[in-house]
A and B are shown apart, each in its own frame.
Chain A
Amino acid sequence: MKRLLSLVLVGLLCVSILGTVGIAAEKKGKLTIWAWDPNFNIPVMAEAKARYQKLNPKVEIEIVEMAKADVEQRLNTVLASGAREGLPDIVLIEDYNAQKYLQAYPGAFVDLTKAINFKEFAAYKTELMTLNRKIYGVPFDSGVSALFYRRDILAEAGYKPEDLYNITWDQLIEIGKKVKAKTGKALLGFDPADGGLIRIMMQSTGEWYFDEQGNPKIVNNEAIREAFKIYKKLMDSGIIKQTSGWNEWVASFNNGDSAAVITGCWIIGSIKAEKSQSGLWGVAPTPRLNLKNSVNYSNLGGSSWYITARSRNRQVAEDFMKTTFAADRDFYQKILVGQGALGSYLPAQDGPAFTEPDPFFGGQKVFADLAAWMREIPPVNYGLFTYEADSALMAVMPDYIAGRIDLDTALQRAAVQLENQIAF
């Protein structure tokens, strides 16, 4: 009996040694991945999965699709409860929230500083996932912002594409007034409750809602002050078509009511959805603020992949990310064409998909332009409380726009609210 037992043990040992040797040569195991957006992140991940499984057929990969709010809710609940089960191996996290997860749940995500060559990614993307000089994620899509405009409408108002380069927001508003007068069209669809434009304006100066120490910087923040003034100017100028929510906003340019849209490059899919407008669109850099440190390049949104520290197949997960998102140039061409996903992996950006002229945009090499602008985005540390700050500012915006309170009162109110909101 004893002998049998020892035989079994020795046998097990041999198998496990063989197993470890086997892993070195061939990866196996199961990876679970959480992400949102069935039109964007999910097919991108599916493409990565197909490519990786061709090389490693024994690795099983399950992509779980959830709404973004659900991913965040589940992640928060499981991490806060300290449970050892229930987390995926790889999870998609929005860039604005990255520091929140990294700092609120220390040790929950794998440090990838040595595993991945971060010099090959856009600088601003690695900055936002760095904590104490360690880098925790694999940068994914860029939300490089741009001014997307209707060539035909602007030509009717007497503007050439060059006139839209290197301009300020004030100049843009003047252009908008002329467009309105000549064509009767609004320049922008604009939702005054949406803080996205503030973030675009702020990042164009390299500033954020917080200073380097992470303390709120609201009242004395020149970028925010300018941004607020421009929101009011936009509302008062009559060049906007007021919208409420995503659908109305997208409709405003799809049905031709507005001549331009300023937002992250992920909007391209929605613009192209209106096929009748093919050839009529153009892309120019983002307008800048009337401030010395403001540039014509900025960002809105974007997200990145993170590997959880409790993953049973951590090595496989790292290898998966390394061989796809941090190496496969061809992969990036495929998802650019398929999903319009502009990755922040720089070596991929001289590939064929990036340098091809796009007939929808009148033959402009849209992605080559966007990729070039992406490199110029000022790096910003988004800090822990982007959504708290956003909500505090947008809560006072209606009163400010309506003229019920002046700028200082508005920002002071927002600052007090934010201060209380982030108290610990």
Chain B
Amino acid sequence: MTEKPIKMPNYGRPRWTLSRYHRYGWFFISFAVLVLALFMLYPIISSLIMSTYSSRGMIQRFVGLGNYQRLLKDRVFLQALKNTLIFFIVQVPIMLLLALLIATLLNNKDIKFRGLFRTGIFLPAVTSLVTYSTLFKMMFSLEGLVNKFLLNIKLISTPIPWLVDPFWAKITVMIAMTWRWTGYNMIFYLSGLQNIPDELYEAAKIDGANAYQQFARITVPLLKPIILFTAITSTIGTLQLFDEPTNFASGGVTAATIGPGNSLLTIAVYIYNLCFKYMPNFGYAATIAYVIVIIVAILSFVQFKLAGERR
């Protein structure tokens, strides 16, 4: 590594300085590498090893790939996976589309009080996850604000069982998540939109393009990298969904399931339960964590391909 330096442009210095130059380089990054190895690489490898053990607290048993086989038969895991994917497939597109629409609207220079609206829509993103989950839970209770409002405007005749019915419980959490995260994604789109030159729209207008055509042919293609970014962060966020289901399900008299019939159980919550609520099986929990990693990797890859990103 030292004697034969990689062919680099020689800036007129003798050879030995170059290799010393390299040595300094390695020295300076060695701290970062060390910390990275200690706090990233070691846990990654250690949890991979852990996933080949099944454990009951301190008592451990080597099972090889047994945990991975067990996953396929584990109905709770499959239900958690299904719930998580439903959140992902339904909620993420709605939220991103909404964020894009709002961003486009608020980018219009003719709108008054733009700053006020932008702040208002972004504000949910700074609230604490626990606080907003608890508030939504109160609002959506059987006799809560939402049901009272809907009953008063005669939209429904009997209260909607928001948190009691498995189907409605999912809807409630999706509504809450959309409220919380739309503004956050909107900010990225807004900053992207500001980089699109006005001349493009002007030219399009002269060519007779209507608002939808401008949106579909100019805005969306030029925002593609940002859409990709928000899609991937939202995917990861949804697959790691923990706070909302936990808080919506908490405060039960004994809270046996996460939401009615486990309808809010996500993979992340299941991992937590396996470690701390049930008989602690850290090995099996590590296995599931690896499954999340694999799923995120696959989904991100697919999104890259769909977006046609070359880099």
Contacts and interface: CB of A to CB of B under 8 A. Distances in A.
Are the chains A and B members of one assembly? yes
A394 B70 contact: no
A417 B261 CA distance: 13
Contact of A106 (B58, B79, B137, B251): B58
Contacts of B79: 395
Interface string A413-424: 100110011111
A413 B260 CA distance: 16
A326 to B, nearest CB: 28
Given A242-B142, A247-B251, A420 B70 contact: yes
A424 B76 CA distance: 16
Interface string B248-270: 00111111110111100000000
Given A196-B254, A245-B251, A80 B260 contact: no
B261 A80 contact: no
Given A69-B276, A193-B164, A421-B74, A105 B57 contact: yes
Interface residues on B, range: 35 or more
B22 to A, nearest CB: 40
Contacts of B61: 424
Nearest to B79: A395
B139 to A, nearest CB: 13
Nearest to A416: B75
B257 to A, nearest CB: 5
B113 to A, nearest CB: 38
A302 to B, nearest CB: 13
Interface string B233-254: 0000000000000000011111
Contacts of B255: 193-194
A398 B166 contact: yes
B68 to A, nearest CB: 13
Given A80-B282, A398-B166, A417 B76 contact: yes
A242 B277 contact: no
Contact of B58 (A80, A191, A388, A422): A80
A195 interface: yes
B212 interface: no
B278 interface: yes
B141 A248 contact: yes
Interface in B160-186: 161, 163-166
A355 to B, nearest CB: 31
B261 A244 contact: no
A379 interface: no
Interface in B278-306: 278-282
Nearest to A396: B261
A82 interface: yes
Contact of A420 (B58, B74, B282): B74
B58 A79 contact: yes
B166 to A, nearest CB: 6
Given A101-B57, A245-B253, 5 more contacts: A196-B253, A242-B161, A248-B142, A301-B254, A391-B273
Interface of A: 69, 72-73, 76, 79-80, 82, 100-101, 103-106, 108, 191-196, 242-249, 263, 301, 384-385, 387-388, 390-399, 413, 416-417, 420-424
26 contacts: A69-B277, A76-B275, A104-B57, A104-B279, A104-B280, A193-B252, A194-B253, A242-B161, A243-B142, A244-B142, A245-B137, A245-B163, A245-B252, A246-B251, A263-B253, A301-B254, A384-B56, A385-B279, A388-B279, A395-B76, A417-B75, A417-B76, A420-B74, A420-B75, A424-B54, A424-B61
A-B interface, 7 closest residue pairs, ranked by CB to CB distance from nearest: A104-B57, A398-B261, A394-B256, A390-B256, A194-B253, A195-B256, A245-B251
